[in-house]
Each structure stands twice: as C-alpha cells, then as structure tokens.
Amino acid sequence: MTFEVISAAVMLRQLVPELRVRVVNVTDLMVLGPSGTHPHALSDAAFNDLFTSDKHVHFNFHGYPIELQGLLFGRRCAYRVSMEGYQEEGTTTTPLAMLVLNKVSRYDVAKIAIQASRKCNVHIDSVADKFLQDIDKQVEDFWTYIKANGKDPAGVFDKPKF
C-alpha cells in the first residue's frame, strides 16, 4: 500500500506539478484514535500537525477500512477523511490488477487526490477532468496490456523516482 501511495505521488508530480501532496506512512495505527483512547493516540494538535486541520485525508489501508473507521471515531476530522482497503475483489491475477480491483492502486489514490483538491484549488478544478481522463486512459492501457500479456508491465514495481 505504501508503494502505491508513493507511486501515486510520483504520478501526481508528473501530471499536476503545482498540486501539493503530503504522504504520511502510519506504522502504529493506535496513533489515529482520539487522545486518551490509547497511550499512543495523538493529541488533536499532533494529529493536525501530521494530517493538517483543513485538507482532505485519504487512507490507503492494507486491511478492512471499517477497522480504520473505528479508530478514527471521535476525531473531529471524520468529514474530510476517505479510505480504501481490502474489499475481497478479484481472483488470481497480476499483483497490480489486484490493487486496481480493490481500488487501492496508484491510479485510485491519484484520482482521489485530484478530486479532493478540486474543492480548495481553483486552478486544479479547471483542469481536473483532463487529469482524471489521463489516469483513466492509463488504467485502460494497463488492462489492455495484462489481457494481452498475462502479466504486469515491466517496471511497474520499480522504485519510484522523484
């Protein structure tokens, strides 16, 4: 999941260089709970230092999203949070295809970032549809490739370069 988020950040930097994106890798889920619910839970101020107090936050989670919803219950940020995670979609296929089917791929994360940025960035809003179409075309090309070749395109899991 972290690799896909970083790959989405690289994709966004190429498509929309003026879009500011922050990637936070949460390794201790208990920090997400409201202050006082767990010894590791972040205060509201610390939470906002990491995730901002007014921007959209998207979690690309390796488990069931309902688990994160339970942890975030009680936080004041719930209205600006979205999340995707394991949805039990797909069958034996390529690794990236499984991520696409479960809506946690780099393409999905990039689209969520663009859609969320429309609300607070007039420049992005005016060109967002083009960027979203570009990403949809990449996904279409991806499906065409794996249907023809039965594997992910070469380099798809190479270390992203900023």
Please report the pLDDT score of residue 38 as a whole number: 94
Please report the pLDDT score of residue 160 as a whole number: 86
Domain boundaries, the chain: 2-149
Q: In this structure, what are the phi and psi dihedrals at residue 39, rounded to the nearest 5 degrees?
A: -60, -25
Please report the pLDDT score of residue 90 as a whole number: 62
Q: Which two tokens stand for residue 43?
A: 């205060």
Please report the pLDDT score of residue 127 as a whole number: 83
Extract long-range pairs of 149-152: CB within 8 Å, 24+ residues apart: 150/94, 151/94, 152/94, 152/95, 152/96, 152/97
Please report the pLDDT score of residue 138 as a whole number: 96
For the chain (length 162 residues), average pLDDT per consecutive 10?
94 90 93 92 93 92 89 84 82 87 94 88 77 95 96 93 76
Fold designation for 2-149: Rossmann fold (3.40.50)
- Give the angle 142-144-145 at the CA atoms, nearest 5°: 65
Please report the pLDDT score of residue 89 as a whole number: 67
**Closest to 85 in 3D by CA, of 57, 111, 113, 104:** 104
